[in-house]
Amino acid sequence: MTSGCPRTSTDEISCPVEVDYAYDRVGTALFAAAERGGGLDRWAPLLPPLAAPGLGEGGTPLIGIGAGVFVKDESRNPTWSHKDRMNRCTVSAAVAVGAPGIVVASSGNHGASAAAYAARAGLRCVVITGPELPPAVGSFLNAYEPVVLPVPWEARWPLMRRIVERTGLHPVSSLTTTHTGHAFGPEGYKTIAYEIHQDLGVPAAVFVPTSYGELLFGIWKGFTELRRLGLTDRLPRMYACQSAAAAPLAEAVRRGLPAAHVTVGQTEAYSIVSPVSGYRGVVTVQDSGGQVLELSDAQLRSAQRELARSGLWAELSGAAGLAGLRAVGDLDGPVVCISTSSGFKDRSVGSRRSETIDPDGDDVRRRLRAAGIHD
């Protein structure tokens, strides 16, 4: 599931395994407007067998924040990120093959989500993390009682391969030199496109926080399936929104390669940082007529503050979709920005301390006036 396609992969480039369906047997009544809600189970006819029990993932809101701009808020999922859609499907694969548990290499969101779904399914879970796991995310992850193995960044994937070979645990993240991901991963993500279509139709563009490109591809696949089923004749442009500190997809597109390796720079947007990209991202950008955007931490922070002013607390990485839109400027037609995860996941969470002030002193009036509130 995560070793790539044995027929098309090479020593340098790993190609993913794709999941296909008997689309001629899928009734369009599945997408009837009256049949809203239901999360991933609602879309079961177009998903791999959901052998693992769910946690109420999917069905997240689409929130307008301005003229023609909508935010798909994936922080409303059970572990507060988009990864829940993927892990419902990947843990289902582990259940279906009778694996004793799962193993994942993750800097945060993926690991916490995988641990939650493994716990729900009664499976053991091993999470291989990097050396700088944010304390709040570490507490969240450990609540599900996985085996947590913090190792140097470059050691994570070799260690995961050894664990898979020696224990029979089912890998739910890549084992390959360039990213392929689990074959079932994008299947969960494509339900985001189904939900956007139900709420809005097909937007002109979708802006997606991007690391490996798996979420980007999954949303794109969902829209192409809607067209294949005759439910639309339009497709959106897909914008991959990467951190400028590590933008391997941008490098691959720039050089005309199926994947690329880059050196990772300094950034607080740790959830969208990766030294390597995958073929799915290149396919999505090229086929959709989209673009890869490289964003600074300053641009991400500005978008994060803008989302907060609309009542949405997003992780810095999760604000990359809106940051990408602001970098491009106004587009014709409605656009959707994916907000991937909660602000709870940021490294700085819990570091700010508040001091007690005198309720009768000058500090009260000064702070109110600074906010434009006058007595």
Of 334, 285, 295, 291, the C-alpha closest to 318 is 295
Structural domain contains residue 356: no
98 and 203 in one domain? no
70 and 197 in one domain? yes
165 and 272 in one domain? no
240-259 as b/e, with b when 16 or more CB fall inside 10 Å?
bbbbbbbbbbbbbbeeebbb
Read off the pTM. Answer: 0.94
Q: Mind giving me the DSSP string for 203-266?
A: -SEEEEE-SSSHHHHHHHHHHHHHHHTTS-S---EEEEEEETTS-HHHHHHHHT-S--B-----
40-72 as b/e, with b when 16 or more CB fall inside 10 Å?
bebbeebbbebebebbebbebebbebeeebbbb
269 Cβ partners below 8 Å, 6+ apart? 243, 245, 297, 300, 316, 317, 320
101 and 75 in one domain? no
323 and 269 in one domain? yes
Q: How confident is the model at residue 35 (pLDDT cuts 50, 70, 90)?
A: low
Measured between alpha carbons, how far is 60 from 25 in angstroms, rounded to an integer?
27
118 and 189 in one domain? no
Q: Which residue has the higher pLDDT, 10 or 225?
A: 225
For residue 33, the model assigns a pLDDT of 63
126 and 269 in one domain? no
Structural domain contains residue 318: yes
Q: Please name the amino acid found at residue 338.
A: I
Give per-residue pLDDT as tens, 327-342: 999 898 899 999 999 9
219 and 137 in one domain? no
276 and 212 in one domain? yes
230 and 109 in one domain? no
Q: Which domain holds residue 95?
A: 83-171
| Boundary of a domain, candidates 110, 137, 171 | 171
Number of structural domains in the chain = 2
Structural domain contains residue 374: no
Structural domain contains residue 177: no
162 three-class SS: helix
- CATH number for 310: 3.40.50.1100
| Boundary of a domain, candidates 123, 150, 171 | 171
For residue 198, the model assigns a pLDDT of 94
Structural domain contains residue 33: no
136 and 75 in one domain? no
Structural domain contains residue 297: yes
In the chain, the percentage of residues whose pLDDT exceeds 90 is 70
Q: Mean per-residue pLDDT for 48-54?
A: 97
Structural domain contains residue 107: yes
Give per-residue pLDDT as tens, 192-243: 999 999 999 999 999 999 999 999 999 999 999 999 999 999 999 999 999 9
78 Cβ partners below 8 Å, 6+ apart? 55, 56, 57, 84, 116
Of 17, 45, 7, 26, the C-alpha closest to 214 is 17
Structural domain contains residue 361: no
Q: Which residues, listed in sequence order, are joined to residue 294 by a DSSP beta bridge?
A: 242
pLDDT greater than 90 at residue 175: no
- CB under 8 A, 24+ apart: contacts of 40-44: 40/85, 40/88, 40/89, 40/188, 40/191, 43/191, 43/194
219 and 107 in one domain? no
Measured between alpha carbons, how far is 123 from 119 in angstroms, rounded to an integer?
6
